[in-house]
């Protein structure tokens, strides 16, 4: 077996060495012609750029095609679908899942098939980490050590656990005996967007997180704000909100309220780039809500609310990048 690996590595080494020699010789020839100032420096410079592009593309394509790694095998080993995944995927509605809390921050396999409250990367906004660290576990209830108020607020419909729970707030869905996993449906899950009756202002982050761990916090009716609203709101007698379109950088909602009211959107608050507009083009202020979420004040009536991620830094970087490329090519 070792001899087979050695031979395979030698083959890759020979191929890589010959390709490198070929690239170096051609690149040297292009630079030599430019130094000689033959009057066609732009042509030789363009040839050099093309040569570098081909070299980089060669390696990239090999990796993307799986020449150096068996992508299908890696996918199956890391993210192979199990019995719990199949049960969850039968539900076609929009929701998040709660992975086993022990691996919430370290195991990304659940995010491969589902939207997860754990996020998709260890690098996450601090407000998200605050909730994960302080507000998901209820240590006062050994029978159900979960803060279901916060979990429901995060649109988490399914809870995956390595222990069994017995609670009227959860419905047992199924189990994967091989992996010792149990699946429960959260009976009180809140939708991706919902109207609330009232607000309270808690400007201090630590106090806000503490309040969210108390029974006084009911996210279905109360929204915690960091600063007061600049306009009055009322508790609607009739309201609805549904997701019309969803993508990572754009979300559309069909909303209705019979009174001017506050709509809480169960998406992470990130002020640097997200904008909220109505179908009229009117831009709405996005408020930091429940420490991690967003909310906007919706006027009475039927509306289409659109939230888009358009960070100015991204478009500025793209502009500078194009300017840099133009300068490089003009310099050739």
Question: What is the biggest distance separating any 2 CA atoms in the chain, rounded to whole angstroms?
Answer: 84
For residue 121, pLDDT beyond 90: no
Secondary structure of residue 26 in the 3-state scheme: helix
- Residue-wise DSSP of 278-324: -TTS-EEPPEEETTTEEEEEE-SEEEEEEEEE--HHHHHHHHHHHHH
Q: Domain ranges for the chain, please list them.
A: 2-69, 92-186, 193-313
pLDDT of residue 105: 66
CATH no. for 193-313: 2.60.40
Using pLDDT thresholds of 50, 70 and 90, give the confidence band for residue 324. confident
**C-alpha–C-alpha distance, residues 44 and 276, integer Å:** 50
Whole-angstrom distance, CA of residue 134 vs CA of residue 200? 20
Is a pLDDT exceeding 50 seen at residue 1?
Answer: no
Positive or negative, the Cα torsion across 266, 271, 272, 273?
A: positive
pLDDT at 307 over 70: yes
Secondary structure of residue 8 in the 3-state scheme: helix
Q: Please write the tens of the pLDDT for every residue from 211-220.
A: 999 999 999 9
322 pLDDT band (50/70/90 cuts)?
A: confident
Nearest Cα neighbor of 79 from 104, 28, 114, 51 is 114
At residue 9, the pLDDT reads 62
Residues 6 or more apart from 204 whose CB is under 8 A from it?
A: none
3-state secondary structure of 119: coil
Taking the C-alpha atoms of residue 216 and residue 208, their distance in angstroms, rounded to an integer, is: 12
Instruction: Inform me whether the pLDDT recorded for 66 exceeds 70.
Output: no
For the segment 231-285, what is each residue's pLDDT rounded down to a tens digit? Answer: 999 999 999 999 999 999 999 999 999 999 999 999 999 999 999 999 999 999 9
CB atoms within 10 A of CB 136: 21
Cα separation of the two ends of the chain: 51
Report the C-alpha gap between 94 and 154 in whole angstroms.
12
| Span 156-173, pLDDT tens digits | 999 999 999 999 999 999
The arrangement of strands across the sheet holding 274-277 comes to 239-247, 250-257, 301-309, 274-277, 283-284
Which H or E element spans position 196? strand 193-196
Kindly report the pTM of this predicted structure.
Answer: 0.77
In this structure, the strands spanning 301-309 and 283-284 are unpaired
Task: Report the alpha-carbon distance of residue 224 to residue 202 in Å, rounded.
Answer: 7
| Average pLDDT, rounded, for the chain | 88
Q: Pick 129 or 58 by higher pLDDT.
A: 129
Among candidates 188, 171, 101, which has minimal Cα distance to 139?
101
**Count of CB atoms situated within 10 Å of the CB of 202:** 16
pLDDT in tens, 200-244: 999 999 999 999 999 999 999 999 999 999 999 999 999 999 999
Mean pLDDT on 14-36: 77
pLDDT above 60 for 3: no
Give the pLDDT of residue 103.
77
When pLDDT is cut at 50, 70 and 90, the band that residue 68 belongs to is low
Each residue of 31-47: b (16+ CB within 10 Å) or e?
A: eebbeeeeeeeeebbeb
Q: Is 193 left (phi over 0), alpha (psi -120 to 50) or beta?
A: beta
Looking at 36-50, 69-83, 277-291, which range is the least confident one? 36-50
> What percent helix, strand, coil does the chain show, rounded to 5?
35, 25, 40
**Helix, coil or strand: residue 38:** coil
Dihedral sign, Cα of residue 139, residue 98, residue 285, residue 279: negative
């Amino acid at each position: 077996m070792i001899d087979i690996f050695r031979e395979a590595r030698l083959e890759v080494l020979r191929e890589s060495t010959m390709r490198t020699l070929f690239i170096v010789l051609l690149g040297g020839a292009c630079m030599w012609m430019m130094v000689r100032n033959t009057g066609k420096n732009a042509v030789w410079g363009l040839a050099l750029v093309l040569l570098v592009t081909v070299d980089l593309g060669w390696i990239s394509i090999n990796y993307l095609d799986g020449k150096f790694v068996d992508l299908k095998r890696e996918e199956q080993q890391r993210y192979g679908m199990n019995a719990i995944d199949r049960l969850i995927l039968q539900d076609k509605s929009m929701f998040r899942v709660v992975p086993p809390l022990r691996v919430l921050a370290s195991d990304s396999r659940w995010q491969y098939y589902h939207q997860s409250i754990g996020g998709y990367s260890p690098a996450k906004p601090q407000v998200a980490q605050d909730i994960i660290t302080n507000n998901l576990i209820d240590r006062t209830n050994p029978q159900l050590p979960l803060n279901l108020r916060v979990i429901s607020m995060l649109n988490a419909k399914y809870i995956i656990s390595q222990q069994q729970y017995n609670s009227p707030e959860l419905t047992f869905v199924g189990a994967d005996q091989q992996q010792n996993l149990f699946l429960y449906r959260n009976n009180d899950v809140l939708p991706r967007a919902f109207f609330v009756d009232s607000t309270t202002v808690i400007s201090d982050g630590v106090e806000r997180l503490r309040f969210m761990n108390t029974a006084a916090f009911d996210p279905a009716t109360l929204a915690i704000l960091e600063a007061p609203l600049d306009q009055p709101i009322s508790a609607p007698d009739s309201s609805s909100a549904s997701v019309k379109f969803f993508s990572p950088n754009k979300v559309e909602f069909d909303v209705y309220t019979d009174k001017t009211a506050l709509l809480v959107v169960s998406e992470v608050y990130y002020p640097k780039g997200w904008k909220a507009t109505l179908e009229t083009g009117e831009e709405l202020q996005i408020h930091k809500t429940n420490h991690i979420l967003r909310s906007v004040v919706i006027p009475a009536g039927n509306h289409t609310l659109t939230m888009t991620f358009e960070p100015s830094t991204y478009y500025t970087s793209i502009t500078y990048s194009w300017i840099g490329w133009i300068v490089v090519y003009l310099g050739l």
